[in-house]
Structure 1
Amino acid sequence: MGSAPEKGSGMMNLQAIARYPGARSFYDNASDRLLFYGREEEIDLLFHRVCATRLLLLFGKSGVGKTSLLQAGVFERLRQQQNMLPILVRFNLPASPLETIQTAVSETCQKCGVDYTPGEGETLWEFFKTMMLWQGDVLLTPVLVLDQFEEIFTLRSAQERAELACELGDLFRAALPPRVRQRRQLRDAADNSNTALTVSLSEQPPNVNVIISVREDFVGALQELAAEIPGIFDDRVRLNPLSDTQAKQAICQPAACQSTETAQFITPSFSYANDALAEIIRYLRGKSGVIEPFQLQLVCRDIEQQVLQLSTQGQSVACITSELLGGEKRLNAIVKNFYQQTLATLPQRDRWNAQRLCEEGLLNAEGFRLPLQENEIFKQYHLGSQALAPLVEARLLRKESRLESNFYELSHDSLARPILESRPWKLTYKQRLVAYSGLITLCLVAVFGFLQWEEKEQAYTAEKQATLAKQQAQAAREAAEGVLNFLVFDLRDKLEPLGRLDIIEMIQQRVNDYYEKLGIEGQSAKVLNQRAVSYESEGNRLFAQGRLEEAGKAYQRFSSLIKQVALLEPHEQTWQRNISVSLMKIGDLLNAQGKPEEALKNYQESLAIRQKLAAHDPSNMGWQKDLAGTYLNVAWHQLLNQQPEKAIEASQYGLAIKTNERMEATLHTNLAHGYLFTGQFDKAEAIYLRYRDKTVSDGRSFKQAVLDDFKEFRQRGIDHPDMSRIEALMR
């Protein structure tokens, strides 16, 4: 439910860990607890308050670190010192409150090795009254931690909130709830039993504690629940933002931790010079004066990556100086990279609209943050709540409910400047449309005017000026090629959100006619490559429109031309990469046509090329990423061709390449499938459980990706008796 597995569990080997978690929360595991600093006073306060009261309200602003404080700061202490079992619960999935809590209890017990006797009955009161949790010979007290409780207002109906409030309120009544008593008495009468069921339950309330963790802006909304939960406001703790001293501890102490036999770090320990530390603190405070743990971890994670990179190059870094830090420009670049990487996780159809929203809708001309109402976002930028959810989850955006609607804004002031600098030409969207329209007209006039000029020039050029004219024509032609590239590629990206790809299709046809008249002989590799990539773009558009036969012809032209380019300049590695791209495109097409064997052959040929490129230049992260993605495709199609052993090998090769968390999770889906199909169920189950709450490259949850894969396997006649067991784990 939001906790990572313990590193010491038998399902994985000890591996190097990062000192800073980045944008995610700290988990409830040994390594994250070791690195969680700066909140010692809050940990003590919250621990003692939980022990002293049965119902505690924890609140604070979004991003202030409530979940991290609970998971990495308080949970283990409750388990070790008070024989309490914290059970993290989220109400973000479509299930009843009782089902959600029962699932959370079961998963927590399984993870912590607790013997669990499930409770009976139809209410939370009966469930916790009859439930028992044993660890050895010690009876544990459950502590329900209702994290991100604002989700009952943003994701649940008023009726569901009322039902949940009634259930929670019953837990703190001093007697058997009347509705429970009445139902059980009716059941006794119907059964004609001599021993009434109500006798088996005492009047004493269940032994269970509850922590409600909620965003500060939703505390007022809890008044809606106060009638059913009268003591909801009696015991409360407000979590404040980090002070400068706490922030310094959170920055410096993880960096100073030494590797041990139970915790190996990806970098040697290091420290921060005072001037560098002061610069980081100043940057984090920004205009708002609030230090958010999320941004602190983002900056520190990037600094740690810098230390790692320098260490692998043989440069030891013992102290982060102001010079190494790189000043405000570097810090802005960290946030800018986070912004761009977050946008890159969105589907292509949403990415451009999300960029416009962030750069124009949520910032004014001076770069100050603006809130925008959800309906206005949908009307202006065609992004619904589902499309915005990944941006909120990644903490790029903050979502607030007010005036019976949802408003979105950038999560922090320090995001404003780098996002503003990403705005192309500092123009608004409407201004850019006007500029694009004028530029399109000029480009069309220039291109076709040039073609007419070239024909006349060739007709009237004297023999003694032929060589000079040819050079001029070539230079002009290359300039025209650049304009054509703008029309085919950049203009396509601008028109696609407007739904006017019909314009591109018309332009593409004219471009193709021009290239056919131009011919191939005597053309430079650069011009031929531009022509080849134009055919690739045409194939992509036709493929997306489902016109597979036409897309195939375009991809074949792309492949044929790029091979000719490679023959002209055999030592240029970019052309080799483009050959691998053409093989991948044809493989995608064959797969869509239901020809997995032929598709696999193309992917393997592409893999061979990318292996050579990555080996030639290991520092080129783009080629390394290409190689990992190709291993992913090869492994998938080996599974479709019932070659699970080979799929395991390809997945392991892909995982050996340093990528990102989503690519790692995606590669692990194929690895787990391979183990499942080869009878290695324990290995497969370990991976499914480890990554079940992760997200894969295309934005789906790992669980959903597994279920979708199994559906496609069955559609292709591939089945395994253990697939149903895994499906049960994923649901």
Structure 2
Amino acid sequence: MPLPSSFCPYVGLQPYTEEERDFFFGRERDQRVIASNLYASSMTILYGASGVGKSSVLMAGVVPMLRTRARTAVVVFRDWQRYDFLTALKGECLKCVALATQKTVKTAVDRPLDELLFSVGEEFGGTILILLDQFEEYFLYHPESEAGNTFDGEFARAVNRDDVDANFLLALREDGLSRLDRFRARIPNLMGNLLRLRHLDAAAAEDAIRKPLTAYNDQLDQGETAVTIEDDLVRTIIDQVRSGSVSLAPSAGAGQPQDVEDDTRIETPFLQLVLQRLWEEERGASSHTLRLATLQKLGGAQEIVRTHLDAVMAQLEPREQTLCAGFFDRLVTPSGTKVACRLDDLGKWAGDLADQVLPVVNVLSESRILRTIAAPASQPGMPPSYEIFHDVLAPAVLDWRRRFVEQQTLEEIRREEQNKRDQERAEREREQELEKTREKSRRMRIIATAALCVMALLASLTFYAFQQRKEAIRSQKLAVASQELAQQRLHRIKNSIPLIKAALSDDPFKNLDKLAASTPELFNKDITFKVTYKSLNYTNPNGSSVYNFKIFPEIASIPGGIKSIASITYRMAHPTFAVQLVPTSPNDKFTIAYNGWGTIDVIAIIEYADPEEAPTIAIIDMEKVQTPE
């Protein structure tokens, strides 16, 4: 079948699928090793760094290879965000066995997993190979505390039973390996067959570049021009996408482990993203050669990768960017794990911009920033869910949101400063007009007094002297009062600007200490803040217990009530927070919540509804005010 004109043999950030197996190269040895282990062991654990290509090697390499073997049913499952995932997994097992046998399977889907696999295995008479991809998401969506979840026990029995002819492969991120401890008590020798998928080396990366072009050219109609690639471009791309050379964000992100491999290892998603961009650029210019000059014109691999997300976000309107900033942090945990969220939940978080959510997520889905997850077939009326398209995008999404929020905060400060300057200018202009009116009145009084002096010179002179002295005293008082008012307003503005800048600086507590003595009135001592915490019953990779913290002001302690405050922005001044500026509003009662461990000092920037009132700062010592929820 001829390829469509829009076809690209490189997939960008999305994993290769089984339909794209003819264009998947560079993992031939890994495919054979994984397939052999899957056949030989009842439990195989495949792990690797985020973005190393686990899903691609399984879907485009291992699965097509296994499907060619007789009496073998291959099941692939990754829909862990579903509340009914266990039923869906069982249904997929029955579907794949029916496909392998070309017969209807009689086993009921409501049986426990081990019993279902035993029963369907008796009907099948062959081997069932079950690949559970992106398994780290199972722990994210289904914690041990989840009520009614029987998967742990059913899965362990299915692995342990000798009479169940089914072998399992768990594919997960390297930083999720420790979470498998949840099964240690149930599955003996759980970690006995570990396979690590490493980044491509230079030779494999060259295959991943050249061989898809060969496969593409082989499928061209007779007379069509083949696509070629310059040798210098191949060498340059491999050199520029080595591990650690490029990233989608300035840093890997909190909780993103760095792959400790030599510098000949290639970042697969970045390699594919660069190749896809070069293909689109050359084909858009009707060129049949991928050229080094085009890569250089685009700024090299680092620039292509770095601007991928920013280029998409720049196409959105300011209101749409504000909307994305409002829900991006819901789609990524602080540790960089993507989380699926339903469309109606995104609408609730969007507030007044709820009607813009669907058009925006559609744009992001078309640009492969988000992935759409359809509702279960059993619940067709349920809204779809959305998640970050690829794990490697998670740090970039958090970084974009951080930069956007910081820019919005600085712009708000500049607007407030400009408003204050405009108000002062208007006040000065009013004072000048008033002075002109006074001057005109004085001249009229002088003329009238002069006319009266003709009739009664002595009386008029006495009266005039008295009036002039009285007017001078009144004018002097008005001038002094106006000057004092202007000086007070200017003093507040001058003091508040360094205070806000200090709170937003790299070392806020040191800079705030310097200002405490000179501007104590801008440090809020009236409003008291509370911190509550609740255990989430799991630990981080360092063994520390993880809690859900909430920080909020006691409404009763606000002198003017909740309506007197426009917003409170919390500065989480600690390197473990990817997003350090968190704005809040009266709608959420100025409350923030996050998952973490340990306590820190938090800076609260309080902005008032009255534009005449300067912002103030409060320092929250979480350790002193925290109480269990």
User: Comparing both structures, which one devotes a greater share of its residues to strand?
Assistant: 2
Question: What is the TM-score when the length of structure 1 is the normalising length?
Answer: 0.43
Question: What is the TM-score when the length of structure 2 is the normalising length?
Answer: 0.49
